[in-house]
Structure 1
Amino acid sequence: MFWTRGLSKEILGDDETFRLLCSLVAATLAREGRETCRIAALVPEGLRDLAPGVARHGAEQERHARLLGALLAARGLEPAEIPPEADHARLLERRGGCPVHVRVRRGEPISERDVVAHLAHGYVTAVRTTAWLDLAADRLADRPEVADAAAEIASAERDRLAHCREELLRFARAGHGAAVRLALRENASAEVGVHRDVVLAVLARVGRLSGWRVTRSVALEARVQAGYAYERLVGRRRTVDLLPPPPPERTDRSRRPRAPEALTPSGNPPDAPPEEAAGPAGAATASRGA
């Protein structure tokens, strides 16, 4: 989400704009949480060791949706209706992100390839959410009830990010590097466009509610479009390559630990054996190693 200190104070200071933003985040978390819990129950037999972690993150997302609902109630506000153009989850599905969620709602069984796709979706969205909530918690220090909620959710999203990254690297080490990279590219490509469209929709709605001048709206939209162009050209590398997230604080370069592993351009972690000559589909459906 596009966020500046002045804009954050303006949004949170107005009941209607606060209601809109809080409702959007709560609705996304609630939906993601419900469907993640369903996925945990349907994980294939050979991957049941993943189910507890998936279920835990789904339950946390649902709990955080309730936390945001409590923030609304504390200000005497009801949840706002979600504008279709700002419904992040639905827009992402329409553009090819998180296809396993569609299968789960249809009652269809899920495969190993679906599990990889779900982990890639979780990783890509957690990268975005963690960065945004960390920034929000810093920007909202003068509103401790909101800052504390943002910090709590950011911490849980950071755990989800680490979990998805670890499991995706395990799949890559087992010979599924091509499938992992394909899933990450597909999700990252869909997510960056949806993020831009949702931010523009939210800014347009907030601008109408707050009575912004046209010049201000145009300037903010231009900054969002510039950020989108940067991400399309440069900014997705950290997501697609499973690079570790930046540390929360700077450390002395001489004392910095060795960087955790990431995917190499070949689709494998460093020092992993070359992948067998199989395409993404074959790698995704092959049996995972220990």
Structure 2
Amino acid sequence: MEAVIFDHLQEADPVDIELFQGEKQKLIQPTSLKDPKLEQLKEALVDWINRTLTPEHIVVQSLEEDLYDGLVLHHLLSQLASVDLPVEEIALTSTAQIRKLEVILAELDKRLGLQDSSPIKWNVKLIHNKDLLATIHLLVAMAKSFQPELNLPPNVKVEVVVVEVSKNGIKSDVQTEALTEDSCGASNSSSSPEWEDPIEQLLKLEANKVNTVKKAILHFVNQNMVTLGLHVADMDKQFSDGVILLLLIGQLEGFFIPLCEFHLTPVNDTEMLHNVTLVLDLLNNMDLQLPNIEPQDIVSQDVAVTLKVLYALFKKHKGK
């Protein structure tokens, strides 16, 4: 059985046996590589990296191919923790890349609290060898430490084959390895994946408590719209075309959205969807993560979704 498993791995992704002679190596099963949840996690991490490194004009397309030389990790650490490491900007040779990764990972492990006896699921060799499993473990740990509010797909697991090569032969064992925890990585999570969402919790309360919160958010909106001569009376309907949301974001963030960018008086669903899509794009650029929200949800006057958008803005700006 062990030989069959290892032969399958060799066919799918040829492995240099000498590379890990005398040590254990974890390899993601080819079937797990096609898991939609793993793809979602990879996309979420790529999106997070690219948003974080927008000021650096660095764009990552592949976790497997773009992080091995230390350049992206160097800039991520600089942006997330304001760390200036004494490493060369671009390491061209393999030796220089490994030397750069040694400095970066030493600093990262220290800041992640993993420099002592804690089990670490990555190292310089694995990252430099473009090991996807180790790279994802590292990025998830960085996201949890530096940006705990980031919403990553919860409960992502993969099947891995643990291969051990020795002079006596090859031993292999299939295991399941978690990449993210249940309920968006919370250690004390409830069984519901929405447990962290205050709006979902709110809507389960008595109607009078829901109305109290809605009034508070509506008051916040109108306070910021008064200079434009606008007043919102019906939260359930007046945000569905995206116009007030766009004007509100402009007021809160202190920028003007050119009228040519959206429809000030939308007359159909297509124009409304255009406006609301722009709203969600702006929120994403503001690092206000609102997962599982589609423009159509707001256009169709989904109260829960509209509340989530307004609450995100309220939470960010209420003390300003």
- Would you tell me which structure has more strand in proportion to its own residues? 2
Normalising by structure 1, report the TM-score.
Answer: 0.27
User: Which one has the largest radius of gyration?
Assistant: 2
TM-score (norm 2): 0.26
More helix by share: 1
Q: Which has the higher contact order (CA 8 A, sep 6+)?
A: 1
